[in-house]
C-alpha cells in the first residue's frame, strides 16, 4: 500500500471515532455527567480529551506500522481486523455511556473493549512489538476507565 493511502487508512477511522465520540460526549458533560455521583479518583474533565488525543495518535501510529508490513504477512489481516473491532467498541462506549446515559451499558461495552484491546495487542505482538507496545497505555487507560465506569454505575444505580 502506498504511503498516503496507508496513512489515511490508519488515521481517518481513528479520527472518525474520536470526533463521533466527542460529539456524543460533549453535550452530556455539563448536564447529565455533572449530576452523577463520581468517586474521588475521577480525573478532572479536561484530562479526558488530553489523554484521548495522545492515545488515539498512538493507536493510529500502531495501525500504520501494521499496515506497513507486507500484505501477505501471516497474521496481518487478523491484526487489522482485531484493531477495527476494538476501535468500533471504543466508539460504541461513548454511545452507550453518554448517548444512552447508561453506566451499565457502558460497563458492558467497556468490558468487551478490554478483551478486544488484549486481542489486538496479542495479534500485533506477533507482527510488530513496537505496534503492540503502543497500545499498552491505551489498555491501561481503558482499564482505569472501566474501574471508573463500574464505580459510577454502583454509585448511581
3-state secondary structure the chain: CCHHHHHHHHHHHHHHHHHHHHHHHHHHHHHHHHHCCCCCCCCCCCHHHHHHHHHHHHHHHHHHHHHCCCCCCCCHHHHHHHHHHHHHHHHHHHHHHHHCCCHHHHHHHHHHHHHHHHHHHHHHHHHCHHHHHHCHHHHHHHHHHHHHHHHHHHHHC
Neighbour-count burial for 60-75, b at 16+ CB within 10 Å, e otherwise: bebbbbbbebeeeeee
Average pLDDT of the chain, as a whole number: 97
List the chain residues with pLDDT less than 50.
none
Query: For 33-79, what is each residue's pLDDT tens digit?
Result: 999 999 999 999 999 999 999 999 999 999 999 999 999 999 999 99
**pLDDT computed for residue 39 by the predictor:** 98
Among 115, 14, 19, smallest CA distance to 56 is for: 14
What domains does the chain contain, in order, with CATH numbers? Answer: 3-36+50-156 (1.20.1260.100)
**pLDDT computed for residue 116 by the predictor:** 98
Taking the C-alpha atoms of residue 72 and residue 12, their distance in angstroms, rounded to an integer, is 23
Q: Which are the contacts of 43, defined by CB distance < 8 A and separation ≥ 6?
A: 51
Taking the C-alpha atoms of residue 80 and residue 64, their distance in angstroms, rounded to an integer, is 10
For the whole model, what pTM was predicted?
Answer: 0.95
Q: Is the CB of residue 96 less than 8 Å from the CB of residue 106?
A: yes
Amino acid at each position: 500500500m502506498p504511503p498516503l493511502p496507508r496513512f489515511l487508512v490508519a488515521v481517518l477511522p481513528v479520527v472518525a471515532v474520536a470526533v463521533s465520540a466527542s460529539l456524543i460526549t460533549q453535550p452530556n458533560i455539563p448536564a447529565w455527567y455533572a449530576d452523577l455521583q463520581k468517586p474521588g479518583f475521577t480525573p478532572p474533565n479536561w484530562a479526558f480529551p488530553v489523554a484521548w488525543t495522545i492515545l488515539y495518535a498512538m493507536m493510529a501510529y500502531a495501525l500504520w506500522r501494521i499496515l506497513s508490513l507486507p500484505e501477505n504477512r501471516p497474521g496481518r489481516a487478523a491484526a487489522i481486523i482485531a484493531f477495527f473491532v476494538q476501535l468500533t467498541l471504543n466508539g460504541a462506549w461513548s454511545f452507550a455511556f453518554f448517548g444512552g446515559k447508561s453506566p451499565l451499558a457502558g460497563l458492558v461495552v467497556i468490558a468487551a473493549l478490554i478483551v478486544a484491546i488484549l486481542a489486538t495487542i496479542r495479534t500485533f505482538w506477533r507482527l510488530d512489538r513496537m505496534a503492540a507496545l503502543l497500545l499498552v497505555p491505551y489498555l491501561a487507560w481503558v482499564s482505569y476507565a472501566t474501574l471508573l465506569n463500574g464505580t459510577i454505575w454502583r454509585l448511581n444505580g
